[in-house]
Amino acid sequence: MSKDILNLEPKTLWKNFYSLTQIPRPSKKEEKIREFIINFGKNLGLETFVDEIGNVIIRKPATPGMEQLKGVILQGHLDMVPQKNSDKVHDFEKDPIETIIDGEWVRANGTTLGSDNGMGVSAAMSILESKVISHGPIEVLLTTDEETGMTGATGLKPGILKGEILINMDSEDEGELYIGCAGGTNGNFHFAYSEVSVPGGHTAFKINVTGLKGGHSGVDIHLGRGNANKIMTRLLWYGAHNYGVRLSSIDGGSLRNAIPREAFAVVSLPTARKDEFLRWVNGFSQTVKKELTAIDPDLKIEAISCGLPNNLIDETTQHNLLYSLYGCPNGVIRMSNEMKGLVETSTNLAIVKSENGVIKIQCLLRSSVDSAKDDLEQMMQSVFELAGAGFVFDGKYPGWKPNPDSDILKIILDIYNKKFGKIPEIRAIHAGLECGILGGTYPAWDMISFGPTIRYPHSPDEKVNIVTVQRFWDFLVETLKHIPTR
């Protein structure tokens, strides 16, 4: 476990990835990994600095005789998504990631692995420390807080970087070259509620929705996986209408960009109705399991007896909450007309949490078409505003418009074909690569994105394919040898 990955090829990349697994780096908590990367660059004798927003930038001069090549920016992000199974004891701010070799894959032990974007960061580190790889001028840009706000990309100032070609290493399908991505918006909704006493003659239950796979709310949204918040809403809505269920608290999901795997609620209902309610919950559980059996076979829905809560959410707010959550769009809204198999527009009902008199609902809206994203915002605003909720849309970031005439694209298509005997697919991704934001600040950059094959990022099932890591590395090294001249 863990150190076994040091025996994998390419050893230089896996060595650096192992180092990253030992350093906590959840989003907005990148202090330790930032310090590590700074020391890494300085110990190599390379120009290393941090910009005002917290991005780390390292420069490496060209191999002698290759100074005439265009400068390349190797780009990735420092942070990782902190997700774990409910039975896993792990502190993402203190504990290292435990890695496991599982056949053709490397995964973690009950947590996210951090291959998103640890693989890209490790590759950049390996290029920086190599004394044998030929390349032109290199700049490494490692951004901060990509996963929760793209803060680093948004805060990067013009004029800091000198290169002309950006290679983003945050894609997740080896053999595919990405030339476009979706933009996004955060949807924030809230209800203020009053606390009322539990009526006499009530019994309380804790409702658990667990065992879902979750996953990346962009990359995996088309897979039709269960959304714990939607399932919980369905249960509570029916329970309130038919068994007098009253809601005390709700807590579902934890990250905007992760499909929620778990949701929990504490409810009460008239004791006289508890047996029929429990029978219904059992039947409801079987119904939803059948609906999702092909994609989420481990779903578990439970109603467990518990002590009466101190208070309940007032009935009017409960009604408005459950109706708006039930009506809230979720999942794929529209597929792309231009690129087969690509999601154009989607939304993820990511977080529902009651605390201190406020219920917060957070969603992440994605689209490669700005007008479609605006339409989705208005749709969601309509649902929640009718229910009396407050709302704010923020954190907007642009998409990356594909450029099929890109010079670097033409060059690396040829490189890949010569090296691996096939033409890679040219794709856009329904996720928020930083290229869209970075290209807005540096519009002259020619940009491309590629990486090894990663499955189920943003969930504890995250894994990276071992063979594709070697192919990704070989392709990157070969690409750097063939960058065009200025």
Active site residues: 79, 146
Beta strands 138-143; 72-77: pairing state? parallel
Q: How far is CA 470 from CA 9, 174, 424, 465, 467, in A?
A: 6, 10, 16, 9, 5
> Tokens representing 335?
């597929």
- Residue partners of 196: CB distance under 8 A and separation at least 6: 311, 312, 313, 314, 315
For helices 370-386 and 315-327, the axis angle rounded to 10 degrees is: 160
Helix (H, G, I), strand (E, B) or coil at 269: strand
Helix (H, G, I), strand (E, B) or coil at 431: coil
- Residue partners of 93: CB distance under 8 A and separation at least 6: 24, 26, 29
The residue among 187, 188, 202, 195 whose CA lies nearest residue 317 is 195
Q: How far is CA 237 from CA 245, 247, 276, in A?
A: 9, 10, 16
The rounded distance, in Å, linking the Cα atoms of 22 and 11 is: 17
The rounded distance, in Å, linking the Cα atoms of 429 and 171 is: 8
The rounded distance, in Å, linking the Cα atoms of 476 and 415 is: 10
Beta bridge partners of 311: none
